[in-house]
Amino acid sequence: MAKQGVDPDELTQPFWDAANEQRLVIQNCVDCDRLQHPPSNTCRDCDDGGALEWKQVSGRGTIYNYGVVHDCPVRLLQEDQPFNLAVIMLDDDPGIQMYSHLPGVPVDDVPVGAAVEVIFEPSANGQLVPEWRVIDG
């Protein structure tokens, strides 16, 4: 599915740069050693807003949940309706979620709980975007 392009901003530049190198990085608080996603300018758990770093993660996870989108507000995706939209929980920290269209998985036939691994797909302006595919077997 062709996604809109991405214009990285100051906050997310490291995330998108890593994606272009086919690496998945997630913000991590140096003080409380806790991942957070989506990214933010400060740690959401430290009262004094702990220092943040970008930490490479394994790129493995499980399908936590999904819905089937039949009426999408994003114009570019409307021609692909209906499509799966799943939430992936990272193996590195099952509290951290990422979205996926689950390429290759039939619509509304999503194996909740299945293992997945990250892949990177080009968006409309060439920026690579993390996606997830089911690991066979």
Tokens at 133, concatenated: 């595919």
**Judged by CB, which is closer to other proteins: 7, or 136?**
7
Bridge partners of residue 58, in order along the sequence: none
> How far is the CA of 43 from the CAs of 28, 58, 74, in angstroms?
8, 22, 30
Q: Which DSSP string corresponds to 70-112?
A: SS-S-GGGGGG-SEEEEEEEETTEEEEEEEE--TTSPTT---T
Q: What is the DSSP letter of 127?
A: -
Length of the chain as a residue count: 137
What residues have CB less than 8 Å from 47, skipping those under 6 apart? none
The residue behind tokens 């394994």 is 58
Q: How far is the CB of 76 from other proteins (least distance, A)?
A: 8
Q: How far is the CB of 81 from other proteins (least distance, A)?
A: 9
**Judged by CB, which is closer to other proteins: 7, or 48?**
7
**Judged by CB, which is closer to other proteins: 6, or 115?**
6
Q: How far is the CB of 36 from other proteins (least distance, A)?
A: 8
**Judged by CB, which is closer to other proteins: 46, or 77?**
77
Q: How far is the CB of 30 from other proteins (least distance, A)?
A: 19
Residues forming the site for other proteins (CB under 8 A)? 3-9, 11-13, 15-16, 36-39, 44, 64-75, 77, 82-83, 85, 87, 95-101, 108, 112, 123-125, 129
